[in-house]
Amino acid sequence: MSTNLKYLSLGILVFQTTSLVLTMRYSRTLKEEGPRYLSSTAVVVAEFLKIMACILLVYKDSKCNLRALNRVLHDEILNKPMETLKLAIPSGIYTLQNNLLYVALSNLDAATYQWPSDSQATTTKELSAGSQFVGLIAVLIACFSSGFAGVYFEKILKETKQSVWIRNIQLGFFGSIFGLMGVYIYDGELLSKNGFFQGYNKLTWIVVVLQALGGLVIAAVIKYADNILKGFATSLSIILSTLISYFWLQDFVPTSVFFFGAILVIAATFLYGYDPKPASNPIKA
């Protein structure tokens, strides 16, 4: 059962990440009248949706009993403040990472970020060295912070018997706080002018829902698999999204370096999951 859950969660993570890559890129480059949506508010809304989804899952696990739900939340969260505080560290890092991905997307071209470009004009336009540097730094910080937060979160999940959904509620609680702080610190002026949900449309909500789903799936992957396999799944989704961009959208030409990296990722994934059968000992006469 655990093996089935492991590969099911990994498959969903690949699908979710690929869909998020394509829709987020399109949503950030789509030109419409009025202000563009604030990425900081999208991160916060995704955290709230994740909390609501986890509460519903805990409610289901409590046999749809409100009293049982209230008791579980009270016993596992309020009565264990130190256990809850442990999630503040990975939560803050994940919130930083989610915002940095938007920063990287706004400052790197499609080939560098391995996301499809929005138009031929954008493809041919050269980005300034400063913008590329900011985008590259954002990607590097997001990569290192994601690795640390993933290992830390995996350690917490596998050392305690608390439900993965309870842990996600704790994670989302701190993520919402850190996210709201970022909204008012960096986008407070824009927020006061056009409101919290400025620029939101159907595509924006799809991005937000996919991002919230990603938080749930990643937690399940770390719980039933491990953080290393999560990294492989994310790498496979990058390859898949780039291939979609090349064959379907036809706006990205992969280089030999990309193909070499793709082969390494596929080979590493196969070797990591390969479980050779022990050689049978020959029967001596």
Low-confidence winner among 16-25, 45-54, 185-194, 247-256 (lowest mean pLDDT): 247-256
Other CB atoms within 10 A of residue 177 CB: 16
* Mean predicted confidence (pLDDT) in 144-151: 75
What is the Rg, in whole angstroms, of the alpha carbon atoms belonging to the chain? 21
pLDDT range class, residue 231, cuts 50, 70, 90:
low
Buried/exposed 16-37: b ≥16 CB within 10 Å, e otherwise: bbbbbbbbbbbbbbeeeeeeeb
Extract the tokens encoding 13: 């993570």
Q: Distance from CA of residue 176 to its chain's centroid? A: 15
Q: Take residue 175 and report the two structure tokens written for it.
A: 């993520």
Dihedral (Cα; 134, 139, 144, 148), 10-degree rounding: 120
Residues 6+ apart with CB under 8 A from 96: 141, 142, 145, 178
**Of 37-51, 107-121, 147-161, 232-246, highest mean pLDDT:** 37-51
* Stronger pLDDT, 272 or 147, i.e. the higher one: 147
**43 compared with 10, residue with greater pLDDT:** 43
Kindly indicate the confidence band of residue 205, based on its pLDDT and cuts at 50, 70 and 90: very high
Two tokens, residue 21: 């890559």
Question: What pLDDT does 140 receive?
Answer: 73
Q: How far is the C-alpha of 74 from the C-alpha of 223, rounded, in Å? A: 23
pLDDT (mean) for 13-22? 80
Q: With bands split at pLDDT 50, 70 and 90, how would you rate the model's confidence at 24?
A: confident
Question: Tens of pLDDT along 60-88?
Answer: 988 889 999 999 999 888 888 888 888 88
Tell me the mean pLDDT in the region 133-156.
73
Cβ proximity of 112 and 136 under 8 Å: yes
Q: Give the per-residue pLDDT at 197.
A: 92
Q: What is the pLDDT of residues 107-141, one digit of tens each?
A: 554 444 443 333 333 333 444 555 666 666 776 77
Residues 6+ apart with CB under 8 A from 211: 20, 24, 42, 43, 46, 98
